[in-house]
């Protein structure tokens, strides 16, 4: 008998930042388990390449939406358009994220606001639109936010990023307890250090690379695909009774004293 625990057939997942890195791996993982997917990011060509790749590998429908999530006022209309075209969105993965590193005493307000807007405010606003949509449809929903090790601790030169991710964990818990009555489960995944475009300045730096390997009990950088299974679990029947949690997929980082 085939298990239904991880089956996403008949569901549609919207993944922000789904054109590369962690978002692409998560979108592909959800499609491999039967979901149609819609992906949002700014870079149109990368969206199209990602869509072709997911479609070829999984046979599922993939729709692309080029959009800059720092355009906070445009998010509601974007979401409504996606929900109408997809005939409903069951799963929302908030993965789009950015960082600008620099000494905190020198960070200008424009930089601070941009990182907070993309990582935290856009997540809140699209989650609001998703919640209203699920309530109107009288259907359950799943939100998965991509957190970070900075949900749990500080790192020099990352004030805006770490603040956005700390806020994201608080938002995850708040929405989980508030929207449980609507059958919307809200969780976060906390990646360790994953080799992507975002972390290229880090994994190409010998000293930083050594530090990451020493701090990661499993002894390697994570791959975007390492996050996919947890996302599938949180999106599927397997995650029915999980809400308000952060699941760290970090190679053991946070367990090490």
With respect to ligand NDP, which residue has the nearer C-beta, 131 or 212? Answer: 212
Q: Specify whether the CB–CB gap between 101 and 157 falls below 8 A.
A: yes
Q: How many residues bind ligand NDP (CB under 6 A)?
A: 27
Residues ≥6 apart with Cβ < 8 Å to 222: 191, 192, 193, 194, 195, 249, 250, 251
**β pairing state of 91-94 and 246-249:** unpaired
With respect to ligand NDP, which residue has the nearer C-beta, 78 or 137? Answer: 78
35 CB-contact burial (10 Å; exposed 0-12 / middle 13-18 / buried 19+): buried
With respect to ligand NDP, which residue has the nearer C-beta, 141 or 191? Answer: 191
The single residue among 49, 53, 55, 98 that binds ligand NDP, judged by CB under 6 A, is 98
For the CB of residue 71, give the shortest distance to ligand NDP in the complex, in Å.
Answer: 8
Backbone angles phi, psi at 246, to 5 degrees: -115, 125
The single residue among 6, 42, 183, 208 that binds ligand NDP, judged by CB under 6 A, is 42
Q: CA–CA separation, 124 vs 193, rounded Å?
A: 24
DSSP state of 74: G
The single residue among 78, 86, 137, 198 that binds ligand NDP, judged by CB under 6 A, is 198
20 binds ligand NDP (CB under 6 A): yes
Q: CA–CA separation, 243 vs 239, rounded Å?
A: 8
244 CB-contact burial (10 Å; exposed 0-12 / middle 13-18 / buried 19+): middle
196 binds ligand NDP (CB under 6 A): yes
17 binds ligand NDP (CB under 6 A): yes
For the CB of residue 122, give the shortest distance to ligand NDP in the complex, in Å.
Answer: 7
Catalytic site includes residue 182: no
Binding interface with ligand NDP (CB under 6 A): 17, 19-23, 41-43, 46, 68-70, 95-98, 118, 146, 148, 191, 193-194, 196-199
Annotated active-site positions, please?
Answer: 161
């Amino acid at each position: 008998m085939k298990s239904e625990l991880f089956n996403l057939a008949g569901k549609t997942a919207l993944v922000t930042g789904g054109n590369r890195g962690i978002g692409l791996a998560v979108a592909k993982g959800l499609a491999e388990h039967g979901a149609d997917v819609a992906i949002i990011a700014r870079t149109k060509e990368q969206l199209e390449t990602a869509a072709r790749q997911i479609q070829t590998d999984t046979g599922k429908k993939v729709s692309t939406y080029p959009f800059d999530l720092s355009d906070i006022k445009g998010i509601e209309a974007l979401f409504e358009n996606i929900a109408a075209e997809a005939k409903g969105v069951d799963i929302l993965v908030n993965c789009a994220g950015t960082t600008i590193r620099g000494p905190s005493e020198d960070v200008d307000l424009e930089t601070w606001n941009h990182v907070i807007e993309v990582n935290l405010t856009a997540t809140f606003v699209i989650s609001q639109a998703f919640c209203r949509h699920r309530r109107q449809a009288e259907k359950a929903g799943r939100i998965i936010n991509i957190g970070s090790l900075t949900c749990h601790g500080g790192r020099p030169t990352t004030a805006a990023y770490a603040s956005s991710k700390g806020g994201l964990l608080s938002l995850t818990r708040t929405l989980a307890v508030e929207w449980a009555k609507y059958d919307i489960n809200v969780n976060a995944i906390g990646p360790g250090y994953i080799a992507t475009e975002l972390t290229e300045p880090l994994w190409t730096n010998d000293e930083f690379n050594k530090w990451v390997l020493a701090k990661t009990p499993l002894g390697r950088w994570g791959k975007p695909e390492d996050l996919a299974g947890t996302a599938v679990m949180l999106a599927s029947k397997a995650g029915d009774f999980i809400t308000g949690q952060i699941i760290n997929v970090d190679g053991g980082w946070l367990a090490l004293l």
